[in-house]
Structures are given as structure tokens and as C-alpha cells.
Amino acid sequence: MRLNDILDKAFSEQITLELESSVAYLQLAVALDDADLPGMASWMRIQADEEREHAGKFIAHATARGNRPQIGQIVAPNDPGAGVTPAFEAALAHEQRVSECIRALYRLAQAEGDIDSLPLLSWFLEEQVEEESTVSGIIGRLHMIGDDGPGLLRLDEELGARRPDGDAGA
């Protein structure tokens, strides 16, 4: 029932990446707070919380199987610079990185014959499609808005309506 050593290490690396994602979203929230966009900053903070929950799902799976995951070093994110669109583009790039890591973990579990991990990893694959789609949609709307202040404030208000359980907002 235990994860073998190869998967144990890979799960620990994924847990670290999920926690790194949380820190990245917190840094993006700071950038958006600095841009006086509290709704978008709130959206990013909720996303940061969700990433910590994702790490928890991986931890729960590994520990339920008798493993003891090790959290690695969390790498500080790069500052995306000024601007709303660069912040969301940084979020999308990070989500794409996470998606590829989960795909690799799925392929590894298959190669190792660990069918017990596949349902969890399938859930994450679906979650990542949703995550990338959501952020891509926000970026598309930001491109349509351009420099339109009222449009940006309206999107800020909409994203600020997001609740931790995923209700409202993009």
C-alpha cells in the first residue's frame, strides 16, 4: 500500500510545488493590492488558499498510504512587475507548470503500476484544466479591456465577488 521510494519522492516534490504556488499567488495578491485592485487581490489570495488545500490532498494521500512526505525548499516567486495583465500571465504560466508536473506524476504512477494514485491524479488533471481555463479567460478579458479604467474596475469587482468555495467571480 505504501508509495514506493520513487513515487514518495515525486509526491513530496508535488506537495512542495503546490505550496510554492500558494506563495506565488500571495505575491501576485500583493502586486494587485499595490495597483489598488482589491477584488483581484482577493481573488489571488483565495487562489493561494486553494493551492494549500491541494498540497493537503497530496499529503493526505501519501500519509494514508503510510508515507511521510517531506516538504522541500519553497522558491520565492519573481515579481511580475507593474500591471494587471502581467500578474495574471504569471499566474497562467505557473498553472501551466503545475499542470505539466501533475501529468508527469500521472505518467510516473502508471509506469510504476501504482493504480491507487490514479484517481487522485485524475482529479488534479481535471482541476488543472479548469484552473488554466479560468485564468486564460481573465487574461482574454483583460486584453479586451485594455486601458479602459471603468472596465478594469468592473472586472476587479467581479473577481472580488469570488468566495473561498468557488462561488462567484471568474
CB proximity list for 151: less than 8 A, separation 6 or greater:
144, 145
158 known ligand binder: no
Q: What is the pLDDT of residue 166?
A: 55
Instruction: State the Cα–Cα distance between residues 102 and 110, nearest whole angstrom.
Output: 12
95 known ligand binder: yes
Secondary structure (DSSP) of 125-153: HHHHHHHHHHHHHHHHHHHHHTT-HHHHH
Residue 69: which region, alpha, beta or left (left: phi > 0; alpha: psi -120 to 50)? beta
State the pTM of this model: 0.92
128 known ligand binder: yes
Architecture of domain 5-160: Up-down Bundle (1.20)
CB proximity list for 55: less than 8 A, separation 6 or greater:
15, 18, 19, 22
Q: What is the pLDDT of residue 78?
A: 79
Mean residue pLDDT across the chain: 94
Task: Assess whether pLDDT exceeds 80 at residue 168.
Answer: no
Task: Assess whether pLDDT exceeds 80 at residue 82.
Answer: no
61 known ligand binder: no
Q: Kindly list the domain boundaries of the chain, sorted by start residue.
A: 5-160
20 known ligand binder: no
